[in-house]
Structure 1
Amino acid sequence: MSFASRKNRKYSSSRNSRRRALRGLAGLALAPIAGPMLGFTAHEARAQAQIQPIRFGLQNTFTGAAAVVWARQKIYERRGLKVEAFKFADGRGVRDAMLAGKVDFGTMNLTPFFVGSSAGNFTLIAFVLLGGDTVGVAARKGIEKISDLKGKNVSITVGSTTGPVFVHQVGPRLGLKEGEYRIVNLQPADQPAALAAGSVDAYAGPEPYLTITERSGIGKVLIRFGPYDANPTCLVVNTSFLNKHPETVLAFLRSWLDGVEYWGKNREGVVEALLGMYREGGHDLQPELVAQMASLPKVVPDITPELIEYMKGQAGILHKAGQLKNLPEWDKVIRPDLLEKARAMA
């Protein structure tokens, strides 16, 4: 489904119609000052004319919640952007569409970003959110702590970001080493049912499944990853698009900052957009549950030095484990300066 909208504006001036030539000259005289009359400087008007249509790939999940709200509430219309949004089940789908040239911008977790950026294809321009508290471990009754999972069946989603974080970081820090439990590979949507059926004893997964598991009485949330892992969702642009259309990237980021502000000030609109996403996917969640979930992520776009070091550490873990062939050239694929410039222009 396209979230794109198009607005055609027509500007006309009424002049004495006795002479067609005079009317044409009047139109020519007014054209150069149309930008300033609308609040644009001549430079801004030229920049606006360079803005390209945007093809945006988003994770249609809670992992991409801020992007879902930005797209569904059409925040981009405030700045006259033409956006076509494409929905994907996860960040890997977004990554593949970007690599195929089908979308220009996208949201994804760290692992898909590392894969694309290590080949020089992707540039990080902001974060969608920090979702450490939106992922965690849920377990059946009788299991009280992570170390109780020794010898048990634990589901992760192989190829996701959540799985390696649990296996390599959170589990060992809480007394559960890799190899001390059996890994069961399941998609997040299948994890609560597997827990209810007893085929797994716990799972590491995202919202809304953690909250659904707890509220339905299937199990309880043992931990959330927030204290151990930032779990950022990345806002990425194809590097070739950035090189060709830098003005469009800055315009996109200015609109993105509008979306960050909207998230903080319009909780009712946030919940409305997320409810729409879930209902389209066949999940009839209650507004109060979604409102509770919306309080979990930190919607902050800034690429800080601390987060850059965190990302390098995560990539190093994957590289050492043989899950990432090459490390990205960090100075080329991370561009915090673009968000700073967009904020100064906003």
Structure 2
Amino acid sequence: MRVLKSITLEKISLSASSIAPPIAHFEAPLEAPFHVCRHIRCAAQNLSTIPDLSTISSDVKSNPRCSARCRLSYARTGQRMNGTVVITGAVSGIGLSTSKLFLAKGWNVMMADFNEDLGKKVLEELLAEYSPERLAFQQCDVSSARSVDAMAQATHDSFGHVDSVINNAGIFAKGAVHEIDEDVWDRVMATDVKSIYLTTRAFVPEMIERKSGTIVNTASISGLQGDYNMAVYNAAKGAVVNLVRAMALDYGKYGIRVNNVNPGPTMTPMFRSNPQSVIDEFAQASPLGRLVQPEDIARTMYFLASDESDPITGQNIPVSAGFEIYSGQPVQD
């Protein structure tokens, strides 16, 4: 077996200096399975030996999605390196914690959010720690096809490809059905449900082409159970709960996995704005006596987006501190 020290493919240079720690170089032969960059992997995946470079070079030339940003995705550990993730609702709460975790794990991150001012501020803060080659922000209204398509183009311009999409953007409204204005109903359904359709339409075709990819949606335990005075939110998240099954069935044959994270009450900035008495009441309702932290959700999202969850698809994963497990019956001695 040959030792890989440097590969030059078209305009792609993969050398010791281009691969981040902990694999600064390859001095020992790579052991099976040897994986190449995600763009090439569609033509040469799960190889037990280092592939013939001239063959891969011709494959790269025929793949228009390959760019100078290609990197080796897997090393001897089999873990993806420098994958690219798109995260919506990315600049606060769960989305911000998720963005930070993916960056810490070595991924390229496109942060998409409606709040442009906050997005630029967060980007500036993160760029103090991470390279601009690994991080970008795009203002995006996830309920607008034009805005989502523009965000997708910006992602491809920045990173060349997408390995995972985290559909985290969402909004909430209170009220029984007859109390909710039509425009509020439409806005919640467009932001919480239609947005998944739009991002899928924008990014899944390239995943189908590569026969690889993951999608993770933020649903809610309110999609699994009913709540008082939350009709439109229950309807929207209930739609996401079943949509994930349909998507997993449709895209599984292409190697694309789709899953939901279903948070319970989570200590986001919005939830923290409640009176302390309300926060305490929610915490006491949990069997664990605690509320969920944004970092708890982020870890689950990363797990579902990564190859660590390779056999999991079409699932709703509650991360709720046990809020959804109670039947409602009175406590019995």
Give the TM-score, by structure 1 length: 0.28
Higher relative contact order (CA 8 A, sep 6+): 1
**Structure 1 or 2: more helix by fraction:** 1
Give the TM-score, by structure 2 length: 0.28
